[in-house]
Chain A
Amino acid sequence: MSSLKTYLTERRQDKDCLIMTHVVCGYPSFEDNWKELEIMQQFDVDMVELQFPFSEPSADGPLFVKANQAAIDSGVTVADCFEFMQKVTAHFSFKVIMMGYYNTVFKTGQEIFLQKLADAGAAGFILPDLPVDEAQELYQIGTQLDLAPIVLMTPTNTDERLAKLAESADGFIYTVARRGVTGSQTEMDNEVATFVGRCRQATDLPLAVGFGVSEKKDIDFIAKHADIAVIGTAALRAWEEGKEAALNAFFKKLLA
């Protein structure tokens, strides 16, 4: 069992709903990222995904697409992301998860990349374009380094497939609340509850619910049906609208 799972399971005993937030490395800048993270720490978030920007972010919605592209255009490299991650894990108490696309890992070399991740203090990694069927070698290396491979479960999966996904997973499961890409609103309804219930049947790992979480009522829903709420686009949108003040207000309302 990964130490990420232990950490989350322990935190969950004291909290109704854990929070994972998301930052695109170097967008709008690393200085902005740092300020965002300070606010996230103040609100006691449990995990943060640091996204390594990629030129073909095909699973992301418009705002993150723009963020990926702008970060690359401004010269952000993979080395910069590792360096930043190192500083973040040394300074903050939340756990850090690498999020990105598989080519970033592949091009660096699977073993080298994961070793660097471990050295930078990451607790796991999420690669939405790498299906488990292609990931076995990478996951094995990750497990040896105590880096949890985070697997996505989706509403289109059969129960049989969910069981197979569960076999490869560690840390927690990222359940995708709806079809589509990141960014737009999700109606947290019976359909989502039923789907999360199916995931619960397949695994005893903590369940995170992501895609379109933006309001207090979403958090209440997730507290009832799962363990972790993933806050992505909504927080970045708040930052873009009004930096510290807006992001503070956003979390205050969300976690009231």
Chain B
Amino acid sequence: MNLFDFTDGREGYYGEYGGTFLPEILHTTIEELKLEFRKAKEDPAFWQEFLQLMQSYSGRPTPVSYLENLSKKLGGAQIYVKREDLNHTGSHKINNVMGQGLLVKRMGKTRIIAETGAGQHGYATATMGARFGFDTKIYMGAHDVARQRPNVFWMENMGAEVVAVTDGQQTLKDAINECLRDWVTNMDNTHYVLGTACGPHPFPEMVSWFQSIIGKEARQQMLDNAGGLPDRIFACVGGGSNAMGLFQGFLDDEAVELVGCEAGGLGEGKGNHASRLAYKDASVGVAQGMKTYFLQNDDGNMLETHSVAAGLDYIGVNPVLVHLWEKERVRFEAVTDDEVTEALKMAMLTEGIIPALESAHGFAQAIKEAATMKPSERVLINMSGRGDKDIFTIADALGDEHWKRFIAQKADEYKAEKEG
């Protein structure tokens, strides 16, 4: 299945979803980007350059780990994990970022901007900016700045300017709006490094292409090391980039079931979660450059969203995934904040791994389903990132008294320093 063959349809559309909905002032810029991307995609040397960069700089290929303890404990399917957490900067976001960085060099631009939710994409972009010598500005909702300070710290120390966005809900969608405002002003020297497989065409295709490295590796690793393809694969879905990355490797394997795991937050009901497809609170709309499912009201204004995982706390979803969902190729499930915390604890205690809160959504759903499957079956989870960045949020969720005491003590030290 070639999702990106537009010869019989409209370019940038997947069924009725996708498209390029941008102000006219960006028309020339987006056309230029489409052209450069098309050239790169058709040039085998470009992918080779990308692979080498990812090997030498980010430690690819990332391994697939067999979770023997967890599999035994549940007594169902054998559980495997694709370790995107072992990338440099700790998540899959670096795949897309480095790819776009190579494109920016080709386009001769000198400045990059990016939105970030969890901060993982901003962190990866700051890294790329430092490595390639670009002037870097990161827009981040003020609410996310407050809950993801460790990533802000690293971004700033790698020379990026981090702007806290105080409009709207002060989360990911507002950071995207702010990037668009910067881009319509500075498009001559600036590339917008969009961090997920959303936004106007060609971003959903381009980000999915760079992330497809995950699924390509994972499929081969399952064949080589696990004795066969998985029966089901699980990925968390914020904008949809890590899920698209993994799923593309298995699209043509019809026996492999693809499961997207959304943020169920506090559970069903408008405003309680960020689930666009698994719950029935979203509808089709056009915003942030694309036509897709959005969590919106009857007037088309966006709803509040909630998730313990900042990276999944988003109103819209990748249009390709919506298309695949309608064709019943991808199943969507929602996982609540409470289920996520439990899955995270189990992963840490039984296997000594720390999934990011986003990735833990995939773990939770896989754990639930694996228990009901046969030991001869296999499941694969995309561990899109590592949880170290979430230490503040996780400590709160676990109510860790030792951590709280440590922070209080640090606060006292800083206070004394300031007053002394």
Output the residue of B22, B23, B167 with the most chain A CB within 10 A.
B23
Asked if A107 meets B298 with Cβ closer than 8 Å, knowing A156-B187, A179-B187, A181-B184, the reply is: yes
Which of B24, B287, B296 interacts with A152 by CB under 8 Å? B24
Residues of A within 8 A of B300 (CB): 54, 78, 103-104, 106-108
- Pick the contact of B301: A54, A151, A156 (CB < 8 A): A54
Within 8 Å CB of A108, what residues of B?
A: 299-300
A72, A77, A131 interface centre (most CB from chain B within 10 Å): A131
The CA of A53 and the CA of B20, in the complex, are separated in Å by 22
The minimal Cβ–Cβ distance linking A116 to chain B, given in whole angstroms, is 13
B185 touches A179 (CB 8 A): yes
Chain A residues numbered 92-107 whose CB sits less than 8 Å from any CB in chain B: 101-104, 106-107
Q: Which residues of B sit under 8 angstroms from A129, Cβ to Cβ?
A: 21-23, 286
Q: Are A153 and B24 in contact (CB under 8 A)?
A: yes
CB distance from A155 to the nearest CB of B (A): 8
Number of interface residues of A (CB under 8 A): 42
Decide yes or no whether B288 CB sits under 8 A from chain A: yes
Give the contacts of A40-65 with B (CB-CB under 8 A).
53-59, 61, 65
Say yes or no: A65 contacts B285, CB within 8 Å: no
> By the criterion CB–CB under 8 Å, are A103 and B296 in contact?
yes
Contacts of B29 in A (CB 8 A): 156
17 A–B pairs (Cβ distance < 8 Å), ordered by A: A55-B302, A56-B173, A56-B302, A78-B299, A106-B286, A107-B296, A107-B298, A129-B286, A132-B24, A134-B19, A152-B23, A156-B26, A156-B29, A165-B24, A179-B184, A181-B181, A181-B184
Q: Mark A173-204, 1 if CB is under 8 A from B, else 0.
A: 00010011100000000000000000000000
Given contacts A59-B180, A103-B294, A130-B286, 10 further A-B contacts (CB under 8 A): A61-B181, A106-B291, A107-B283, A131-B20, A131-B23, A133-B20, A134-B20, A134-B21, A152-B23, A153-B24
- Does A58 lie within 8 Å of B28, measured CB to CB? no
**Residues B184 and A103 in contact, CB atoms below 8 Å apart:** no
Q: Which of A9-48 contact B (CB under 8 A)?
A: none
Chain A CB within 8 A of B27 CB: yes
Is the CB–CB distance between B181 and A157 below 8 Å? no
> Is B110's beta carbon under 8 Å from chain A?
no
Residue numbers in B under 8 Å from A65 (CB-CB)? 167
A133 and B200 CA atoms in complex are apart in Å by: 13
* Contact flags A62-75 to B (C-beta < 8 A → 1, else 0): 00011001001000
Name the B residues within 8 Å of A158 (CB-CB).
28
Interfacial chain A residues near B298, Cβ < 8 Å:
107
Q: Which of B20, B180, B187, B188 contacts A58 (CB 8 A)?
A: B180
Chain B count of residues within 8 A CB distance of the other chain: 36
Q: Is the CB of B288 within 8 A of A131?
A: no
A interface residues with partner B (beta carbon < 8 Å): 53-59, 61, 65-66, 69, 72, 77-78, 101-104, 106-108, 128-134, 151-158, 161, 165, 176, 179-181
- Chain B min CB distance to A142 (Å): 17
Could you say which residues of chain B place their CB within 8 Å of the CB of A176?
24-25
B186 at interface, CB cutoff 8 A: yes
Chain A residues with CB below 8 A from B20, complex form: 131, 133-134
Shortest beta-carbon distance, A72 to chain B, in Å? Answer: 6
Pairs of residues from A and B, 10 with the lowest C-beta to C-beta distance, nearest first: A107-B300, A55-B301, A180-B185, A103-B300, A154-B25, A58-B177, A58-B180, A55-B302, A78-B299, A156-B28
Q: A156 — which chain B residues lie within 8 A by C-beta? A: 25-29, 187
CB <8 Å contact, B168 and A130: no
Candidate in A56, A66, A78, A176 with the most chain B CB atoms within 10 angstroms = A56
Q: Assess whether A180 is in contact with B184, with CB atoms less than 8 Å apart.
A: yes
Of the candidates A56, A106, A151, A179, the one whose C-beta lies within 8 Å of that of B288 is A56
Report chain A residues within 8 Å CB of B185: 179-181
CB proximity of A163 to chain B, nearest CB, Å: 13
**Which residue of chain B lies nearest to A60 when distances are taken between CB atoms in the complex?**
B181
Residue of B whose beta carbon sits closest to that of A184: B185
A59 touches B23 (CB 8 A): yes
CB distance from B125 to the nearest CB of A (A): 20
Contacts A103-B285, A103-B296, A181-B181 given; indicate if A131 touches B301 (C-beta within 8 A).
Answer: no
